[in-house]
Amino acid sequence: MAELTRRTALKRGGALGVVGAAMWTWPAEASVARTGTGADPRWVWDPEADALLASVIDRGDVPAVNAALRTWQKNDQPLPGGLPADVRDFVERARQLPSWADHGKLATSFAFTEKRGLYLGVLYGLASGMISTVIPHEARAVYYSKGGAAMKDRISKTAKLGYDIMTRNAFEPTGEMIVTCVKTRLVHAAVRHLLPRSPQWTGTADQTIPISQRDLLVTWHSLPTTVMKKLVEWQVPIPRAESEGYLHSWQLTGHLLGIMDEYLPASWAEANSQADQVLTPVLAPTDEGIELAEILLNLGSTVDGGLLSTHVLGAFTRFMLGDRIANWLHIPREPVWDPLLNVAWGPFIAVREGLLPFPLAPAAYWTLDEFLRQAALLFLSEGRPISIEIPETNRPS
């Protein structure tokens, strides 16, 4: 009975978060499109991709499509033979950059990534990655879809997006970011078709169809918006051009993932405003998210002698996301790492940025620097071939 009561409370917590963000008031004029219908993104999905993947799944073409797309790796690579005509036509359209793509801004974004790569690696993993576990819609969609049964593989495919966007040529012909985004868009459409057939998902979800445009926006804000907020909070000096370039790379990513241009924020001010409406109010614990967080935290124990132990990763999660989220995820307090981070992180950042001379505690400095290096390795070192595959089934019951 106690467990049933806890599950009920957690489910209600997720539902209350969604209700708290029910009113859509963000103006389309603040988007990269500068115009739009004003439709509430909770009730908008990805019509073209959804119809395509429903057909591909129902006619049994998923194995053939996956086999063909496995060989498509570079942005400008001709699409492989063997693709059904409707899939080929969709992918050819979906892989095109929008008219507002700015290659100068993308070059500046890479300059930013070159200087801040270690920060970005750990933030993608322990800020963005962990906050996703307290986004109820995302946590349940991940948990009950096929990828929820093999989380290490699922996380490596998610990390590929973070890895690819940090490369010099991410959106250029020889890069891989466009490929990764389009394949991920296909996966999302497949999950929309499959999850409503899952009794486990339908028994806990407060949606009839997952991964709406609003859900995509929530996930989008858990990445660049959350990362930039932390860098500003840490007082990392970022030239305006680099900040705008970084935003532009994620605007393009959102577009390629199937987010409609009328919902993509045109500036950081608008991104923060939208995040206050769609991300912050929905954060809540769920049983599924708690279990996913535990899996994420345990990944570090296998990296390079276990420096990234569950204790260390948990302390960094608490430091980055705060006590409320850490307590939701049942992350214990750490008597050594918690106070160390609270006291040493600010000076550590200042030293890395050249704002302070090297401190008189080189051992502590090295430990923090080594943590960043290994965390980036853990979450973003997916240089080996990773194939993003369209699922045919949900998580086995």
pLDDT band at 346 (very low <50, low <70, confident <90, very high): confident
Quick one: pLDDT at residue 148? 74
Give percent of the chain above pLDDT 90.
65
Predicted structure pTM score: 0.89
Quick one: pLDDT at residue 377? 56
Nearest to 381 by CA among 79, 118, 94: 118
Cα angle value 185/190/195 (rounded, 5°)? 125
Name the 3-class secondary structure at 119. helix
Summarised one tens digit per residue, pLDDT across range 207-256 is: 999 999 999 999 999 999 999 999 999 999 999 999 999 999 999 999 99
Q: 159 or 176: which carries more pLDDT confidence?
A: 176
Top mean pLDDT of 32-46, 304-318, 331-345, 365-379 is at 32-46
Give percent of the chain above pLDDT 70.
83
Question: In 195-267, which ranges are continuous DSSP H helix?
Answer: 199-202, 213-220, 226-233, 240-256
Quick one: pLDDT at residue 371? 65
Separation CA 15–CA 253 (nearest Å) = 28
229-237 contact pairs (CB < 8 A, 24+): 229/272, 230/123, 230/127, 230/320, 231/116, 231/119, 231/123, 234/119, 234/345, 234/346, 234/349, 235/346, 235/349, 235/350, 236/116, 236/119, 236/349, 236/353, 237/353, 237/355
Quick one: pLDDT at residue 356? 62
Separation CA 277–CA 24 (nearest Å) = 8
Question: pLDDT averaged over the chain?
Answer: 87
Quick one: pLDDT at residue 22? 58
Quick one: pLDDT at residue 3? 39
Q: Is the pLDDT of residue 138 over 70?
A: yes
Summarised one tens digit per residue, pLDDT across range 257-289 is: 999 999 999 999 999 999 999 999 999 999 999
Separation CA 391–CA 324 (nearest Å) = 34
Q: 368 or 387: which carries more pLDDT confidence?
A: 387
Distance of CA 169 to the CA centre of its chain: 20
Quick one: pLDDT at residue 121? 81
Quick one: pLDDT at residue 308? 58
Summarised one tens digit per residue, pLDDT across range 116-136 is: 888 888 888 889 989 999 999
What the block records as the tokens of 279 is: 């991300």
Q: Is the pLDDT of residue 352 over 90?
A: no
Q: 154 or 136: which carries more pLDDT confidence?
A: 136
Quick one: pLDDT at residue 302? 53
Burial group, residue 182, by CB count within 10 angstroms (0-12, 13-18, 19+): buried
Quick one: pLDDT at residue 285? 98
pLDDT band at 379 (very low <50, low <70, confident <90, very high): low
Averaged pLDDT for residues 91-108: 98
Q: Is the pLDDT of residue 165 over 50?
A: yes
Quick one: pLDDT at residue 262? 98
Quick one: pLDDT at residue 351? 79
Quick one: pLDDT at residue 15? 47
Quick one: pLDDT at residue 120? 87
> Residue for token digits 């078709």?
193
Task: State the sign of the Cα–Cα–Cα–Cα dihedral 130, 133, 134, 135.
Answer: positive
Q: Is the pLDDT of residue 79 over 90?
A: yes
Summarised one tens digit per residue, pLDDT across range 193-204 is: 999 999 999 999
Q: Is the pLDDT of residue 167 over 90?
A: no
